[in-house]
Amino acid sequence: MKATNRSLSILHAVVIVTATVAHLPRLAAQTAVARTASRGDASADAQWSVQVIQIDHGDVNLEPSFQIAIYENLLDELGKTKRFKQVFRDSDHSASNVSNLLILKTTVEQYTPGSETQRAVTTVTGATKLSVHSQLCTRGGHVVLERTVHGNVRFLGSNLRATHNLAHNVAKTIKEASLSEPSVSVSALVRSELDFVPSGNV
Partner 1 sequence: MHLLVCLVLLICCGVATTAQNTSEATNVTAAHSVHVTHILGFAGAPNNASGTLSVQVDVLQFQSSGKPAVEVKLASVQDVIVGELSKQVGGLPMTMGKAAAPYGGGRVVSLFAHKKYDTLTVQYVDADGGIHGAIFQLHKGEGELFRNELLAKGARISQRDGDATRRRTEEVSSESN
Q: Out of 93, 176, 195, 200, point to the residue binding partner 1 (CB under 8 A).
A: 93
> Which amino acid does the sequence have at 11?
L
123: left (phi over 0), alpha (psi -120 to 50) or beta: left
Contact assessment for residue 123 and residue 105, using Cβ atoms and an 8 Å cutoff: no
Contact assessment for residue 122 and residue 140, using Cβ atoms and an 8 Å cutoff: no
* Residue 124 binds partner 1, judged by CB under 8 A: no
Q: Out of 63, 146, 181, 193, point to the residue binding partner 1 (CB under 8 A).
A: 63
Give the nearer residue to partner 1 in terms of CB position, either 74 or 149.
74
Per CB under 8 A, the segment of 29-37, 64-72, 98-106, 172-180 that binds partner 1 is 64-72
Tell me, residue by residue from 65 to 84, as one string, x for binding to partner 1 by CB under 8 A and - for no binding.
x-xxx-xxx-----------
Contact assessment for residue 190 and residue 139, using Cβ atoms and an 8 Å cutoff: yes
Give the nearer residue to partner 1 in terms of CB position, either 1 or 124.
124
Task: Give the Cα separation of 195 and 146 in Å (integer).
Answer: 27
Specify the length of the chain in residues.
202
Identify the three-state secondary structure at position 99.
coil
Give the nearer residue to partner 1 in terms of CB position, either 83 or 164.
164
Contact assessment for residue 132 and residue 108, using Cβ atoms and an 8 Å cutoff: yes
User: What is the distance, to the nearest Å, from the Cα of residue 8 to the centroid of all Cα atoms in its chain?
Assistant: 59
Q: Out of 47, 99, 116, 187, point to the residue binding partner 1 (CB under 8 A).
A: 116
Residues that bind partner 1 (rule: CB under 8 A) add up to a total of 27
* Residue 166 binds partner 1, judged by CB under 8 A: no
Give the footprint of partner 1 on this chain (CB under 8 A): 54, 63-65, 67-69, 71-73, 88-94, 115-117, 120-122, 156, 158-160
